[in-house]
Amino acid sequence: MFEKYTPTVVATCFSVEALIESYKITNDETVLKETLTAANFVTQDLSRTPQGDGIIFSYSVKDGNNTVINASLLGAKILSYSFKYTNNKAHGALAKQAVRAACDLQEVDGSWIYGLLPVQSWKDSFHTGFNLEAIATYQQNTGDVTFQEYIKQGTVYYLEHFFEANGMPKYYHDKTYPIDIHCPAQVIVTLSKMNEFQPNERLLSKVLHWTIDHMQHKKGYFYYQYRQGISSKISYMRWSNAFMFNATAHYLLEINTTSHGS
């Protein structure tokens, strides 16, 4: 846990992506310029730990948080946006090092553990989605498709181990509960950003409908976690609702594109 107002690469990356989308709509160069200063946060404020042939970025400015694979990849994602819009080759090279380390840590079956500490050895759904989306975004932003096979293997594992046939999302690869709202939300966003929505539309439709049926309150907000006993029906703006609103937006965009295309 971090003290209030401690900057993390995770929250920073989410903000960067939202602002980049804003720039695409408004073409406001000031927005883009200020957004890309987040790359300085990654290069100047996060620590780097050698890992194989690459590096792992720390989770935050606090030392010792340098073991979380998805957090490091989100740092790489930020740097890849800097490369895309400014052609900063140093940022592109650093991003590749972080992606290389993460891919080296992928297991033979395509899975990832959460982190490198003994207490971080679990495998879960939405952090796997973070990893895949980040690597795919790196490739899209840089044109470097070196890691495509890792994405392919990871995607197969993701879809085969974290979702039931009826659309029910699982939290862990080896057990279901508690189902965090990130699990159904992230798969829609991940596959949409990876341009893999259409081949998996049937599954994603089931996931979304299962989530609406089991994790949405009649007032419209989404629950934090679904459990076998008493579910946690807390309405978190960022953790629950923002992720599901983002997911449903991606879903509707994909569906509308399909209907217009046909």
pTM of the model: 0.95
CATH code for the domain of 140: 1.50.10.10
Read off the tokens for 13.
């990356």
Half-sphere CA count of 90, side-chain side, radius 13 A: 5
**Rounded mean pLDDT, 7-25:** 96
pLDDT tens-digit readout, 37-50: 999 999 999 999 99
Do residues 233 and 115 share a domain? no
pLDDT tens-digit readout, 61-106: 976 679 999 999 999 999 999 999 999 999 999 999 999 999 999 9
Angle at 179 between CA 174 and CA 181, to 5 degrees: 135
pLDDT tens-digit readout, 98-151: 999 999 999 999 999 999 999 999 999 999 999 999 999 999 999 999 999 999
Do residues 56 and 112 share a domain? yes
What's the mean per-residue pLDDT of the chain?
A: 95
Q: CB under 8 Å to 210, separation ≥6 — which residues? A: 166, 167, 168, 169, 184
Domain count, the chain: 2
pLDDT tens-digit readout, 188-243: 999 999 999 999 999 999 999 999 999 999 999 999 999 987 889 989 898 899 99
Q: Would the pLDDT of 177 be above 60?
A: yes
Angle at 101 between CA 100 and CA 104, to 5 degrees: 85
**Rounded mean pLDDT, 155-182:** 96
Do residues 30 and 138 share a domain? yes
Read off the tokens for 243.
């992720």
Q: Would the pLDDT of 260 be above 60?
A: no
DSSP string, 92-129: HHHHHHHHHHHHHTS-TTS---SBSSGGG---BHHHHH
Largest Cα separation within the chain, whole Å, is 52
Q: Are 105 and 51 in contact (CB under 8 A)?
A: yes
Do residues 126 and 199 share a domain? no
Residue 258: the pLDDT is 65
Residue 231: the pLDDT is 85
Select from 129, 161, 193 the last residue of a domain.
161
Q: Would the pLDDT of 3 be above 90?
A: no
